[in-house]
Amino acid sequence: MNISKYQQLAGMLLILTFSIGAFAATEQATSSGPSNALSGSYDIGGGGADFVDLAAAISKILTVGMDAPVQFNLKPGTYSTHVTITDITRHGQYDDWLTIQSEDPNDPAILEHDASSTSYNWLIRFDYTKFIKLENLVMQATGMADFSTVVSLENNSSYIEIINNEINGYTISNTAPDEDGYLLLNQTNSYLNNILIHNNTFNGGNGAVKFSGDLSGYISGVSITDNQFYDQEGTGNDFVVEIDKVRNVLVYKNLINNSTQNAGGMRLFRVDEGVISANRISMLGGGTGSVGLSLSNTNRGLDETVVVKNNFILAAHSPLYIQGNNTRNVSVFNNSVMADGPWVVPNTFPAALFVDESTENIIIQNNVLTNLQADDSAYAMIIKNSSTVTFSDNNVFHHESLNQFLVDGVEYANLTDYQMSTGMDTGSSDERIQFVNETAGDLHLAPAQYTNPTLFTSSISEVTYDIDGELRATPITLIGADDLNADVIFNNGFDLF
- pLDDT tens string 216-265: 778 999 999 999 999 998 876 789 999 999 999 999 999 999 877 778 89
Tell me the mean pLDDT in the region 201-215. Answer: 91
- Name the most confidently modeled range: 64-73, 165-174, 209-218, 372-381: 64-73
- Residue 9 located in a structural domain: yes
Q: Is the pLDDT of residue 439 over 90?
A: no
Identify the pLDDT of residue 33. Answer: 66
Backbone angles phi, psi at 82, to 5 degrees: -155, 95
- Residue 403 located in a structural domain: no
- Residue 116 located in a structural domain: yes
The whole-angstrom distance between residue 400's C-alpha and the CA centroid of its chain comes to 30
For residue 475, count CB atoms less than 10 angstroms from its CB and return exposed for 0-12, middle for 13-18, buried for 19 or more: exposed
* Number of domains making up the chain: 1
Q: Is the pLDDT of residue 18 over 70?
A: no
- Residue 12 located in a structural domain: yes
Amino acid at 379: Y
Give a three-class secondary structure readout of the chain: CCHHHHHHHHCHHHHHHHHHHHCCCCCCCCCCCCCCCEEEEEEECCCCCCECCHHHHHHHHHHHCEEEEEEEEECCCEEECCEEECCCCECCCCCCCEEEEECCCCCCCEEEEECCCHHHCCCEEEECCEEEEEECCEEEEECCCCCCCCEEEECCCEEEEEECCEEECCCCCCCCCCHHHEEEEECCCCCCEEEEEECCEEECCCEEEEEECECCECEEEEEEECCEEECCCCCCCCEEEEEEEEEEEEEECCEEEECCCCCEEEEEEEEEEEEEECCEEEECCCCCCCEEEEEECCCCCCCCCEEEECCEEEECCEEEEEECCCEEEEEEECCEEEECCCCCCCCCCCEEEEECCCEEEEEEECCEEEECCCCCCCEEEEECCHHHEEEEECCEEEECCCCCEEECCEEECCHHHHHHHHCCCCCCEECCCCEEEHHHCEEEECHHHCCCHHHEEECCCCCCECCCCCECCCCEEECCCCCCCHHHHHHCCCCCC
Identify the pLDDT of residue 302. Answer: 81
| Cβ(478)–Cβ(445) below 8 Å | yes
Tell me the mean pLDDT in the region 350-366. Answer: 94
Domain interval for residue 120: 1-134+141-161+174-195
Q: What angle do CA 297, 153, 116 make, to 5 degrees?
A: 110
pLDDT band at 489 (very low <50, low <70, confident <90, very high): very low
Q: Is the pLDDT of residue 450 over 70?
A: yes
User: Regarding predicted confidence, which is higher, 340 or 280?
Assistant: 280
- Residue 480 located in a structural domain: no
Taking the whole predicted model, whether its pTM rises above 0.95 is answered as no
- Residue 77 located in a structural domain: yes
Lowest mean pLDDT across 13-27, 97-111, 313-327, 403-417: 13-27
| Cβ(478)–Cβ(450) below 8 Å | no
- Residue 41 located in a structural domain: yes
Q: Which contacts qualify for 7-11: CB closer than 8 Å, 24 or more apart?
A: 9/248, 9/249, 9/250, 9/273, 9/274, 9/275, 10/250, 10/275, 10/277
- Residue 408 located in a structural domain: no
Q: Is the pLDDT of residue 4 over 90?
A: no
